[in-house]
Structure 1
Amino acid sequence: MGAAHTQATPPAPSGAHGLGGADPARDARCRRCGHAWRRPSDYPETSATLVDDTPGPAGPAMPLETQDALYVALELVIAALAVAGNVLVCAAVGASSALQTPTNYFLVSLAAADVAVGLFAIPFAITISLGFCTDFHSCLFLACFVLVLTQSSIFSLLAVAVDRYLAIRVPLRYKSLVTGSRARGIIALLWVLAFGIGLTPFLGWNSKDKATSNCTGSGDGSVNKSCCPVKCLFENVVPMSYMVYFNFFGCVLPPLLIMMVIYIKIFMVACRQLQRMELMDHSRTTLQREIHAAKSLAMIVGIFALCWLPVHAINCVTLFHPALAKEKPKWLMNVAILLSHANSVVNPIVYAYRNRDFRYTFHRIISSYVLCQSDTKGGSGQAGAQSALSLGL
């Protein structure tokens, strides 16, 4: 014990993670960003020693290198499954004329957004999680692209809910009101709106001044030429006020609440119609199929909400309780992001599980184009597929 007390203790390094030389001014500037100053060219030995040292009762949980590797691996798996499953959905609708209904056009729009999540949003998310140095607007685009796809998915789900409500509420006028050409026009409009909403931070609602302030001097306004322009992390470029007030409270939560009300009304109207009169067998079967379709689509909306609400909950905590937000470990945000991206994998599974005609078309496509087996059954679908598929699910 005595020897331990007499041993000389080296001075503690000054970096935010206990790394780097003694440069208080630079460290102070980097701490204002809430992230460690990290340049591989300056500190090549640090990659194996960084840990998640976010203050908290549990202390460091896992080396950041291990967290990042696990996060990237899971993201790549999700991306592959999202692309494969949703390309299959698009191919199924394209291959079967019976599946080419207005409802399924909206589902194809949803699938297209999920394919883009796998091809672009997840690689962008992986890139932005590494905190590399880049210019502000490039980083902002990477951060905003996933917002465009999320908004497009919400709009597609809302369009499907309205479509199903019209099919139940005005069944005799439904086919004249909701046509394929109108559905395609609505989809195009919804994508334009999604891009406008997702790219709103480019109009000025961003953190450019805060993100680039670490490259200015202590008070004289001089620029540190050796400084990283922007450490590309989501919270460095997109303000939480935008994510909470505009994105969540304005563009995500209201459509989800509207969809919940619509599906409640669908079930109420359907139950009243079943109880009010003695329907013919054909009419009763049709209505029961509508109810089954509504249940499937409501399930998709519910899964979407469960997958995305954790991210928005963390954003709300970050905005309204910044002291508490500082204690959140990096792995918690990674799990929330993975859950939101995993939503893109779920929908094809729901279609296959809940609808035999989608399941049949999936099987036919996989057998013909993946397993290279001939389609012995022939035809474009099972008997009675047209009547069932006209309901969407």
Structure 2
Amino acid sequence: MAAELVIAFLSTVGNLLVCVAVGLNRKLRTVTNYFLVSLAIADICVGAIAIPCAILTDVGLPRHNLYLCLLMLSVLIMFTQSSIFSLLAVAVERYVAIFMPFRYQVLMTSRNAVLVILATWLLAFLIGLVPLMGWHKTPPDSGYCFFVLVVDMTYMVYFNFFACVLTPLVIMFLIYAQIFIMVKRQVKRIACEQSCRGERQARATATMRREMKTATSLFLVLFLFTICWIPLHIINCFLLLCPHCPVPLELLLTAIILSHANSAVNPFLYAYTMTAFRDTFKAIFLCYRTVGDRTGGDDREGAAVQNAHQT
């Protein structure tokens, strides 16, 4: 419970800082960062809503109220699903920026980004509410609200994990693999032509290297999400497919805490890998009045790169 409370605090405060940074620094208001803000909002909800609900259900509360119990157990599924869809949106946006640069400005407008974010949240809520719609176990006579006694593991494994978590993760890893291959090829090609075309090619090389850095940072977000959540889903598979296999309580609790901890790590990752976010965080902590003017550097991280491809 102590670990959960620490994670809830870090997740809420850290991701609020991400939202404030994007709000204050106009140079961070890119389509990529809009999706990262959506991810941050989901993580704020995990810290402020889902983890407190998880703490209550850990002690079996509420008792004798099945629908409130299911709602409290479903909120974490909702916010996790929203996080996955936000990560998928980021991957698709990066794919369009790299492979369809001339259509980027038309496809990836702020309006379209907001519509995609609203659609992902609506879909995430519908997926999370499936247990509340009837796909759940018969409640125990004791009335205690424990996850494994109320939520149907066939829903968690076949529908939630295989269909709604694993499939998007595989798609995202394939997208980033293609992005890395494409960018490396472009860098090599530009380097070979640099001696012939001079300064213009040097700028293109720098832009492509910046895109590689941005893609690497975003891939790390996806990688950490996978590392944090897969162990718990694997345990759920064991609970369903091998009900008599012993699962140590310590292992289960560690997997749960690890999955919740994912909501707290992204702000640290942004600060470590993205100069624009790091400088904006510093400006906020130091109470600078003109945040946007003091965050130069790599504040184009996450912006469209269609101009580079035109070279």
- For normalisation by structure 2, the TM-score amounts to 0.91
Task: Within 5 Å, give how 1:376-387 maps onto structure 2.
Answer: 379-383=292-296, 387=300
Change (3 A) 1:101 1:329: same
Task: Within 5 Å, give how 1:1-393 maps onto structure 2.
Answer: 72-132=1-61, 133-207=63-137, 209=138, 211-212=139-140, 214=141, 228=142, 230-277=143-190, 278=193, 280-324=201-245, 327-368=246-287, 379-383=292-296, 387-388=300-301, 390=303
**Deviation digits for residues 319-359 of structure 1 (CA, Å, limit 9, x no counterpart):** 011111xx323222111110000001111111000011100
Change (3 A) 1:236 1:336: same
Change (3 A) 1:391 1:353: farther
Change (3 A) 1:389 1:246: closer
TM-superposed deviation, 1:365: 0.9
SS of match in other structure, 1:231? coil
How many residues align? The count is 296
Change (3 A) 1:388 1:155: closer
TM-superposed deviation, 1:380: 3.0
Rg larger in structure: 1
* One-letter amino acid matched to 2:47: G
* 8 Å CA contact retained: 1:98, 1:381: no
The more displaced of 169-178 and 292-301 is 169-178
For residues 234 and 378 of structure 1, the distance between their equivalents in structure 2, rounded to whole angstroms, comes to 45
What percent of counterpart residues are identical?
47
Greater relative contact order (Cα 8 A, min sep 6): structure 1 or 2? 2
**Unaligned residue ranges in structure 2 (runs of 5+):** 195-200, 306-311
RMSD of aligned Cα (Å)? 1.6
**Unaligned residue ranges in structure 1 (runs of 5+):** 1-71, 215-227, 369-373
For residues 257 and 378 of structure 1, the distance between their equivalents in structure 2, rounded to whole angstroms, comes to 38
SS of match in other structure, 1:311? helix
SS of match in other structure, 2:247? coil
**Deviation digits for residues 214-240 of structure 1 (CA, Å, limit 9, x no counterpart):** 3xxxxxxxxxxxxx4x21100111111
For residues 30 and 273 of structure 2, the distance between their equivalents in structure 1, rounded to whole angstroms, comes to 17
TM-superposed deviation, 1:383: 3.7
**Deviation digits for residues 230-282 of structure 1 (CA, Å, limit 9, x no counterpart):** 21100111111110000001100000000000000001111222223425111
Structure in which a larger fraction of residues adopt helix: 2
* 8 Å CA contact retained: 1:205, 1:239: yes
